Structure 1
């Protein structure tokens, strides 16, 4: 009989323990704002337990700098403003599993020696920044040494024009499995900057008005970039020192200037560039040091130079692309290279197709003598423009 009572008591204790354990693990909502439990976000974060939601109400300006060192959600209702007063990072995240959403984050510090941020995530995984507005920050969102981060559906731009302190909109360094998607990015130095970032997906972003590159990545491998729109950026998009990259269904347009490109490739290997649109750029696509690239089913239209293929590029396959309305469809700086150019459509082709198989019977040579001279010495372009103006 005693054994039965002891067993019953143990079961009761276990049941009560489970109840308290469940209560402890359940997330609470901690409210900040006029008439709410807390008047400052800092106070609310200090009492929050892991997995709690700190909910900030009202379109109010909170002049606070925040540090998040526990897994919580920081959520704004009616887009409250967190203003750092130009005194450092506005929000620092030093914990895993943090969510920041629905806020306007502005006025980080500005320095030519320190990279200050609107949101600065360091040494953390699974941190989400979504549905936020970023204004007047040096760097808007920065991830350093992170994994499984998500930057989604944010509106990002900066008013900084002084080059030594101008930062990037989304900046990732030494991170893996990042997802940057659906963001609208305006004026910054670079729109999206990635360095030592692998196995990541950058999709459906709109990037314009950047003082340098809309997208700039180096030493970043096994990444996919699809459905992005890069336009009216000072230098276009730059891909450098990478391998196993897929660039699919992106649009590069209206990137114009003496050093502007729709897409600049420098030392890229084993990668695919397909179904993209290169429109109205000074240079649609420049490949310098591309090796074992598949470039196919792209539309290259109304550019000054459609494609520039520099001598260091080898074993590239360029096929089934449409070249339309470019001043020069293709140029190179050597008389021979080890690349395959086949099955493309050239609107300047004047040959014939007697067997009606859709392919010209006479090979087309896109490299004109004048384009070769221009590749060696750009000053000869004066004669090209003079000739067109006098016709």
Structure 2
């Protein structure tokens, strides 16, 4: 269906372009402002905007192609959204967009999409409350944009980089997002494809509520408080994403809460406070993932039902599992294949790659750890290991047990995703430079009154001394 609408969109663009004119905006051209060109333009005209600064919010109320040449700078006013797209079939390409208002409840954004079949690409959105806001906007393509928020605001005062509300069938790809509240917030939206985006230095890399049947592929969620939080949704497909170095109080690589029939495969879940979190989940599949170097690999609630976790590599995690209650129906193997656990000491006499003995994931500390997570700090100590081994020999504490019935003796082959991290490094360095300059400018402006008072008082003291 997405391909069908894409072809229809392309055909319409070609047909409409046959009768379109080309307008030019710049100091050496007929039109001196974008607003003037928009008023003069007919539907489906192309407007080239050449390098320079253009002040004021703009509204696209007819289908036009708006192309920036030499990265023209659109400076928004202190209210509303800098660019508001109201007509279908518009293009906004190649601009630097800043400013706009500061009202979260009014969706003040760098670009506010209130229409469908638009293409938003190759733009730099800086010092904006929301980056790009989809407001009941369908069948849009938003690609290769950079969104840098307002780092001088508290995290709760910022908007999201890409906020998708009540919107369907959108393609969101190759965007870089930082210094906002949440990288991507998806709310009551279905059938969107989100791929090859890079989200860093945020609260949530992706925050997901009440949305079904979306796909996430080859995204990077790194150095946030939470990599991904997916709640109250069904049929979400995660493939080849990286959730790494997401740390802080109650931090997770990937959190699934009240989610059903989701699939997560071939993802990297690395160096997080908690790798995977399952609460109120039903019939989800987690397979062929690398779960490595997390403080805790899995947090599992009793409300998790019939989830299948198999053919994953668990390597270098400080603790494997923390249970809250007894998740009786969660399975750590499927069709005779479990997971690879780097600390497992099993044997494989028939050399089929599957251990001949099962692996007990829980130990004497599980019940205590579920109630008091801070005890996790002591579970890697020699004394804790000695107590665990003794308990296996002579069980003293009666508790429920969770097993991987068919643990694997060899690592599962998982694709190398290092290319995803390399792709975002250059943009990450550039965004830090821009954010530093923006913060420095705000500090300088705040210091001006104090500098004026200082120099005036110095001058008065000098005059008084002369007198």
When normalised by structure 1's length, the TM-score is 0.90
1:374 to 2:369 alignment: yes
1:344 pairs with 336, 339, 347, which one?
A: 339
Deviations, residues 242-279 of structure 1 (Å, cap 9, x unaligned): 00110111010000112110011111111111111100
1:126 pairs with 117, 125, 132, which one?
A: 117
Structure 2 residue aligned with 1:152? 143
Structure 2 residue aligned with 1:11? none
Structure holding more helix per residue:
2
1:309 pairs with 269, 280, 300, which one?
A: 300
2:131 pairs with 140, 146, 164, which one?
A: 140
Deviation at 1:136, TM superposition (A): 0.4
Distance in 2 (alpha carbons) for counterparts of 1:43 and 1:111: 28
Distance in 2 (alpha carbons) for counterparts of 1:70 and 1:231: 39
- Measured at CA, do residues 287 and 46 of structure 1 come closer, stay the same or move farther in structure 2, by a change above 3 Å? same
SS class of match (1:368): coil
Structure 2 residue aligned with 1:175? 167
- 8 Å contact kept, 2:57–2:100: no
Over the aligned positions, Cα root-mean-square deviation in angstroms equals: 2.0
Structure 1 residue aligned with 2:431? none
Structure 1 residue aligned with 2:100? 108
Distance in 1 (alpha carbons) for counterparts of 2:74 and 2:157: 21
Structure 2 residue aligned with 1:255? 246
1:236 pairs with 201, 216, 227, which one?
A: 227
Distance in 1 (alpha carbons) for counterparts of 2:357 and 2:272: 30
Of residues 60-69 and 40-49 in structure 1, the stretch that sits farther from structure 2 once superposed is 60-69
Deviations, residues 45-83 of structure 1 (Å, cap 9, x unaligned): 00111111111011x111121011101011101111100
Q: How many residues align?
A: 366
SS class of match (1:120): strand
In the TM superposition, structure 1's runs of 4+ consecutive aligned residues that sit over 4 Å from their partners are 22-25, 385-389
- 8 Å contact kept, 1:89–1:118: yes
- 8 Å contact kept, 1:112–1:164: no
Distance in 2 (alpha carbons) for counterparts of 1:91 and 1:110: 15
- Measured at CA, do residues 267 and 83 of structure 1 come closer, stay the same or move farther in structure 2, by a change above 3 Å? same
Unaligned runs of 5+ in 2: 1-14, 387-467
- 8 Å contact kept, 1:328–1:371: no
Distance in 2 (alpha carbons) for counterparts of 1:216 and 1:63: 33
Deviation at 1:115, TM superposition (A): 2.5
Distance in 1 (alpha carbons) for counterparts of 2:144 and 2:18: 30
Structure 2 residue aligned with 1:329? 320
Deviation at 1:371, TM superposition (A): 3.8
SS class of match (1:374): helix
1:365 pairs with 326, 338, 360, which one?
A: 360
1:2-151 residue pairs with structure 2 within 5 A?
Answer: 26-58=19-51, 60-111=52-103, 113-122=105-114, 124-151=115-142
Deviation at 1:337, TM superposition (A): 1.4
- Measured at CA, do residues 83 and 112 of structure 1 come closer, stay the same or move farther in structure 2, by a change above 3 Å? same
Unaligned runs of 5+ in 1: 1-21
When normalised by structure 2's length, the TM-score is 0.75
